[in-house]
């Protein structure tokens, strides 16, 4: 895929982030955390983002949407794998559009970009989670044609529980 993707919105481009964008990515993560009322859970810093996103073993990718050359949105994603399909998928960990830019089609352009990238990479699906209280996002995803996976429950081990299990 091209380094800069021109969208159907005049003066909006989408590009892959570079190592120099680590502070910007952190800013977007912090703004997303405020929106989701989870700002106390952000422990990432620019140095950690540089090493995990742009180091020897890149574990995820980031795209930045710029309107009139100013960053207004980002998405962090990575490959997962479907054993049933026998193919990789793209998993969207985060997608955030600045509040004053919402409702202008930027989120949809990011999804179009990611859908095209998934097809280019021969992925079987595009997936993400949404907080159950985030009705504006849920309405947006339904307009895209996305289906809720209501019969699945997410489980997580982290922090002390993860270490306890690993040490058992």
* Tens digits of residue pLDDT in 108-153: 999 999 999 999 999 999 999 999 999 999 999 999 999 999 999 9
Q: What are phi and psi of 91, to 5 degrees?
A: -115, 125
141 has catalytic annotation = yes
DSSP 36: T
Whole-angstrom distance, CA of residue 142 vs CA of residue 119? 20
- Backbone Cα Rg of the chain: 17
> Does residue 75 contact residue 114 with C-beta atoms inside 8 Å?
yes
Residues 76, 60 contacting (CB under 8 angstroms): yes
Q: pTM for the full model? A: 0.93
Query: What's the domain range around 45?
Result: 4-167
Helix (H) or strand (E) holding 65: strand 61-67
Q: Which residues pair with 91 in a beta bridge?
A: 78, 127
pLDDT tens-digit series, residues 47-84: 999 999 999 999 999 999 999 999 999 999 999 999 99
CATH of the domain at 35: 3.40.630.30
Structural domain count of the chain: 1
């Amino acid at each position: 895929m091209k380094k800069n993707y021109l969208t159907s919105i005049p003066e909006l481009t989408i590009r892959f982030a570079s190592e120099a964008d680590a502070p910007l990515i952190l800013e977007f993560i912090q703004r997303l955390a405020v929106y989701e009322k989870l700002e106390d859970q952000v422990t990432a810093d620019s140095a950690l983002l540089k090493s995990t996103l742009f180091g020897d073993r890149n574990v995820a990718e980031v795209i930045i949407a710029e309107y009139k050359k100013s960053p207004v949105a980002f998405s962090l994603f990575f490959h997962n794998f479907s054993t049933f399909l026998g193919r990789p998928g793209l998993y969207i960990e985060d997608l955030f559009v600045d509040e004053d830019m919402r409702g202008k089609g930027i989120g949809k352009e990011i999804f179009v970009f990611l859908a095209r990238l998934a097809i280019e990479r021969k992925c079987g699906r595009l997936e993400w989670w949404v907080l159950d209280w985030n009705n504006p996002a849920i309405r947006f995803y339904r307009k895209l044609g996305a289906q809720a996976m209501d019969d699945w429950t997410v489980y997580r081990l982290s922090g002390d529980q993860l270490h306890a299990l690993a040490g058992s």
